[in-house]
């Protein structure tokens, strides 16, 4: 997204945001095609294709940055769409407190999640720290349709898009996200109709004419996919991102998805069985970009274009035909670029990529271990200890990542780390993870009887040694304490969790799945109540996979005694809040 000062023009934006070589060298084509998809005929060369209609980003608006700003009263309203941060985000208590500072909160979900109920049912209300009548946030709960109740695509981490067809109408007032966004936009446009305020052009000129159907005027998801997939000026569909132009003759809502509607067919809806095609299965769904199942697959051939191994051959150079060919996957390389191709000095974009350089998104076409650009804390991978660690970093004098984002504030206290006074108060390593039976923060699984009964309660997993050391009984209860909160969990003593010998000391690990909260068929404390905010500077999510904690037998205290227990730990550890 453009920044207000650094990106005064489309040209400057392109210049600053993509390397001139490799696939990113055509960023201007991707940008102009995107602007044409969004603003259609209103986007012309004379007005920089409506580049100035794009909202300007004025700072870090990642999730945690937004929640911290909210906590300080700097955010008025918040849409949580299928998101449950009071269970799923680190420092759950902080998330809950932040929500109470909003003017309004809109939620879209299948059921009233912990986030939706934060104003009348939260750990803070249970303990008496917060009272409902003191929360000024107005909460709007919008029931959402399930995936079986709407058309659309699943995208997985293989980049594969698999279309699902609506099987039945959503019940009651439940609607799809597409329905909600489309009709919200439609109503805003109706309110603005006739406005001559220039700032309203960005909304009034949008291509918002999606056909609707059915009893609830459901927008046509297929029409949205066609816009994403890209078209030529004559209305025909593009087959890949190379066809996009920066002269306004093509429109494409997402360059990486260019071609998903090639030949006028919803390519992601193809469901040819694996028995009717080879194992590459290119006719099941569609993978971005250009239905490429294995990215950078030119690397499966040696520099001369021959398979590294005949047995494992995948994509190779057919010298006779003068083309890359293979088992059926899209060769992720210019189709007729010879293996010995060498660019000239003036070549740019894809023409600047050598014939033996498969990594076409990098300006040199090579895979990188040494990453000179793109990362805040490169160029090489290193090991740092997490924010809270019981050990010193044996590899570097630098204990923790110096570029990590830390937030020293009363709602987010950190533990002393190895070597600091009080570190022994939180002597164990805490790690959180998922179970197969539950989905993330539980809104889609703790509400389903058949899944809930399979993992009905929050538990912690510990080694037999730790159980012995702390008097913890298998099947009994334990209280796990950090400077943020104290939670309770059933005890699972298991050989799967092993005590570690590190730097001459025995280290015990406490493992806790994170799916539970106060709502749904099966309830329990949230593991994220224990964790602090300490973020990676590149992607602004937790920089750690572990923190430190203490564990003790028995259930946690109720009411104000819970906070008193945490306070006692903070005092003993010398935690400053």
Partner 1 sequence: MSAETLAWPGSYGGDAKPRVGFFTDTSICIGCKACEVACKEWNRIPESPQGFTGKSYDNTLDLGANTWRHVAFIEQRVPADADGGASLVEAAERGGLVEREGLATSKEGDGVRWLMSSDVCKHCTEAACLEVCPTGALFRTEFGTVVVQEDVCNGCGYCVSACPFGVLDRREGDGRVWKCTLCYDRLKDDREPACAQACPTNSIQFGEVDELRERAEKRLAKLRGDGQSEARLYLADEEDGIGGAGAFFLLLDEPEVYGLPPDPVDSRRHLGAIWAATGAAAAALGAGLVAAVFGGR
Instruction: Give residues 24-63 in contact with partner 1 (rule: CB under 8 A).
Output: none
Least distance CB 170 / partner 1 (angstroms): 19
Which CB, 370 or 450, lies closer to partner 1? 450
Q: Which stretch binds partner 1 (CB under 8 A): 5-13, 31-39, 432-440, 548-556?
A: 432-440
Collapsing DSSP states into helix, strand and coil, what is residue 177?
Answer: helix
CB 463, min distance to partner 1, A = 8
The reply to whether omega before 566 is within 30° of 0 (cis) is: no
Q: Does 492 sit near partner 1 (CB under 8 A)?
A: yes
Beta-bridge partner residues of 548: 429
Instruction: Report if residue 450 touches partner 1, rule: CB under 8 A.
Output: yes
CA–CA gap between residue 32 and residue 245 (Å, rounded) = 7
Nearest to 326 by CA among 306, 354, 341: 306
Which listed range, 60-68, 233-241, 407-415, 443-451, lies at the site for partner 1 (CB under 8 A)?
A: 443-451
Considering the complex, what minimum distance in angstroms separates the CB of residue 143 from partner 1? 22
Q: Applying CB under 8 A, does 502 fall inside the site for partner 1?
A: yes
- Backbone torsion region of residue 328, taken as left when φ is above 0, otherwise alpha when ψ lies between -120 and 50, otherwise beta: left
Q: Residue 436, interface with partner 1 (CB under 8 A)?
A: yes
State which residue, 105 or 527, has the beta carbon closest to partner 1.
527
Q: How far apart are CA 512 and CA 430, in angstroms?
A: 8
Q: Which of 188, 192, 435, 563 binds partner 1 (CB under 8 A)?
A: 435
> Do the Cβ atoms of 430 and 460 come closer than 8 Å?
no
Question: Taking contact as CB under 8 A, which single stretch among the options 174-182, 363-371, 486-494, 565-573 is the one that binds partner 1?
Answer: 486-494
Give the one residue of 503, 539, 568, 576 binding partner 1; rule: CB under 8 A: 503
In the three-class reduction of DSSP (H, G, I as helix; E, B as strand; rest coil), residue 38 is classed as helix
Strands (E), 412-530: 428-433, 459-462, 477-481, 486-493, 500-502, 505-507, 509-513
The end-to-end CA distance of the chain, in Å, is 36
Q: H-type helices in 135-268, by residue range?
A: 177-192, 201-204, 221-229
φ, ψ dihedrals at 393, nearest 5°: -75, 115
Beta carbons of 357 and 18 less than 8 angstroms apart: no
**From CA 230, how far away is CA 508, in angstroms rounded?**
55
Tell me if 114 sits within 8 A of 523, measured CB to CB.
no
Q: What is the smallest separation between the CB atom of 165 and partner 1, expressed in angstroms? A: 18
490 is a site residue for partner 1 (CB under 8 A): yes
Stretch that binds partner 1, among 42-50, 92-100, 378-386, 488-496 (CB under 8 A): 488-496
CB 480 within 8 A of CB 490: no
Count the alpha carbons within 13 Å of 269 in the hemisphere toward its beta carbon. Answer: 14
* The one among 90, 451, 527, 533 contacting partner 1 by CB under 8 A: 451
Q: Which of residues 504-563 bind partner 1 (CB under 8 A)?
A: 504
456 part of the interface to partner 1, by CB under 8 A: yes
User: Quick one: 111 or 405, whose CB is closer to partner 1?
Assistant: 111
Between 341 and 477, CB nearer to partner 1: 477
Single out the segment in contact with partner 1 by CB under 8 A; choices: 43-51, 78-86, 247-255, 494-502.
Answer: 494-502
CB of 402 to partner 1, least distance (A): 24
Applying CB under 8 A, the residues found at the interface with partner 1 are 435-437, 449-457, 459, 474-475, 490, 492, 494-496, 498-504
């Amino acid at each position: 997204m453009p920044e207000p000062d650094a990106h005064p023009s489309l040209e400057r934006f392109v210049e600053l945001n993509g390397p001139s070589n490799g696939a990113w060298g055509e960023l201007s084509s991707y940008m102009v095609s995107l602007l044409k998809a969004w603003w259609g005929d209103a986007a012309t060369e004379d007005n920089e294709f409506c580049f100035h209609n794009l909202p300007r980003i004025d700072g870090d608006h990642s999730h945690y940055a937004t929640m911290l700003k909210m906590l300080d009263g700097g955010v008025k309203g918040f849409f949580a769409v299928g998101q449950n941060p009071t269970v799923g985000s680190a420092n759950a208590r902080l998330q809950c407190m932040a929500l109470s500072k909003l003017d309004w909160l809109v939620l879209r979900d299948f059921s009233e999640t912990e986030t939706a109920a934060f104003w009348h049912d939260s750990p803070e209300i249970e303990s008496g720290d917060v009272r409902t009548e003191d929360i000024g946030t107005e909460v709007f709960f919008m029931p959402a349709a399930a995936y079986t109740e709407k058309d659309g695509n699943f995208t997985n981490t293989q980049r594969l898009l698999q279309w699902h067809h609506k099987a039945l109408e959503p019940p009651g007032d439940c609607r799809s996200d597409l329905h909600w966004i489309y009709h919200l936009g439609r109503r805003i446009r109706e309110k603005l109709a006739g406005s001559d305020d220039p700032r309203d052009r960005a909304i009034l000129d949008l291509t918002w004419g999606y056909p609707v159907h059915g009893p609830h005027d459901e927008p046509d998801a297929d029409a949205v996919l066609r816009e994403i997939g890209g078209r030529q000026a004559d209305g025909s569909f593009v087959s890949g991102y190379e066809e996009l132009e920066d002269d306004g003759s093509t429109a494409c809502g997402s360059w990486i998805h260019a071609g998903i509607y090639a030949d006028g067919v919803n390519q992601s809806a193809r469901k040819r069985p694996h028995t009717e095609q080879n194992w590459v299965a290119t006719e099941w769904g569609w993978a971005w970009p250009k239905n490429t199942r294995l990215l950078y697959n030119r690397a499966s051939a040696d520099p001369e274009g021959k398979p590294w191994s005949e047995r494992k051959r995948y994509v190779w150079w057919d010298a006779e035909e003068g083309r890359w060919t293979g088992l059926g996957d899209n060769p992720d390389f210019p189709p007729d670029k010879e293996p010995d191709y060498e660019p000239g000095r003036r070549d740019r974009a894809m023409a600047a990529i050598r014939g033996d350089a498969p990594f076409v998104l990098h300006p040199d076409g090579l895979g990188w271990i040494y990453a000179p650009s793109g990362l805040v804390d490169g160029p090489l991978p290193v090991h740092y200890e997490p924010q809270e660690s019981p050990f010193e970093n044996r590899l570097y004098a630098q204990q923790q990542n110096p570029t990590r984002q830390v937030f020293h504030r009363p709602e987010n206290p950190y533990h002393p780390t190895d070597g600091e006074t009080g570190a022994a108060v939180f002597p164990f390593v805490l790690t959180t993870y998922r179970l197969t039976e539950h989905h993330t923060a539980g809104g889609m699984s703790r509400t389903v009887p058949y899944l809930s009964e399979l993992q009905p309660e929050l538990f912690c997993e510990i080694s037999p040694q730790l159980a012995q050391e702390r008097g913890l009984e298998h099947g009994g209860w334990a209280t796990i304490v950090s400077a943020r909160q104290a939670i309770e969990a059933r005890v699972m003593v298991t050989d799967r969790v092993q005590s570690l010998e590190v730097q001459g000391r025995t280290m015990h690990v406490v493992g806790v799945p994170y799916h539970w909260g106060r709502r749904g068929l099966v309830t329990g404390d949230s593991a994220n109540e224990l964790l602090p905010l300490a973020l990676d500077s590149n992607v602004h999510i937790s920089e750690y996979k572990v923190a430190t904690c203490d564990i003790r037998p028995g259930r946690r205290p109720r009411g104000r005694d819970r906070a008193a227990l945490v306070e006692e730990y903070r005092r003993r550890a010398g935690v400053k809040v």
